[in-house]
Amino acid sequence: MDEPQALWLPSPNYFPARAGHAPRWIIIHGTAGFSSAEEVGYYFQQADVSTHYTIGRDGVIVQSVREHDGAWGNGGVTTGHDPWWSRKLNPNNVTISIEHVKPHRDNSDELTETQKEASFRLIQHICDRHHIPKHKANASGGITGHRSMDPLHRSFCPGPYPWEELFEFLNDTK
C-alpha cells in the first residue's frame, strides 16, 4: 500500500505501470451512492471500474489500486473538457483518483468534517510523493474534479467539495 493506515482492498481493474507515464493530476470523485468506503472497495473488486482510493464519511481510507498503476476510474475525455486533457492519452495513466462516499445518487452530499480532514491529508501526501502541484489543475498538473475531463456525463462529479479550504490547507503545509 502507498498510504499508511489505509485499508487495502485490491481491485483487479488497473493499467499496469501507467504505460510509462507519471501521475500529474489528482482527480476528485463522488461515489453517487454507497454507504461506506469498504462497500466501494468490495464493489471495485467485482465491477469493471476502480479508483486508487475511497474515503468514507467516517474518514476510513480504502486503497484499491497502487499509485504506480492507473486506476479505471476516469473514463474518457468528452467534448467541453478542460484544455489540458487530450483524447489521445488515457487520462487514467496520468492521474490518481480519489472517491468520496456520497450516499445520494446526485452527489449532493457535503463531506463530513472527518471525511474532509482525511481527504486533505491524503491529497497532501499524494502531492508530496509524486511532486504533483498543490494548486487548481492546469496544464502543468494539479487537483480537479472528474467533471474537468468529462463534463458531458460527469458534470455532477464530485458534487460539493471544499476546494478553497483544500488549497488553503495545502498552502499552509508547503
Please name each of the domains of the chain with its CATH number.
7-172 (3.40.80.10)
Question: Which percentage of the chain shows pLDDT scores above 90?
Answer: 94
Which residues, listed in sequence order, are joined to residue 46 by a DSSP beta bridge? Answer: none
Helix H or strand E encompassing 97 = strand 95-100
In angstroms, rounded to a whole number, what is the distance separating the alpha carbons of residues 166 and 46? 32
Q: 174 falls in which pLDDT band (50, 70, 90)?
A: low
Mean pLDDT across the stretch 22-47? 97
Find how far residue 73's CA is from the centre of its chain. Answer: 8
Residue 99's CB: how many other CB atoms inside 10 A? 31
Mean pLDDT rounded to a whole number for the chain: 96
Residue 33 DSSP label: B
Q: How far apart are CA 9 and CA 63, in angstroms?
A: 6
pLDDT tens for residues 77-131?
999 999 999 999 999 999 999 999 999 999 999 999 999 999 999 999 999 999 9
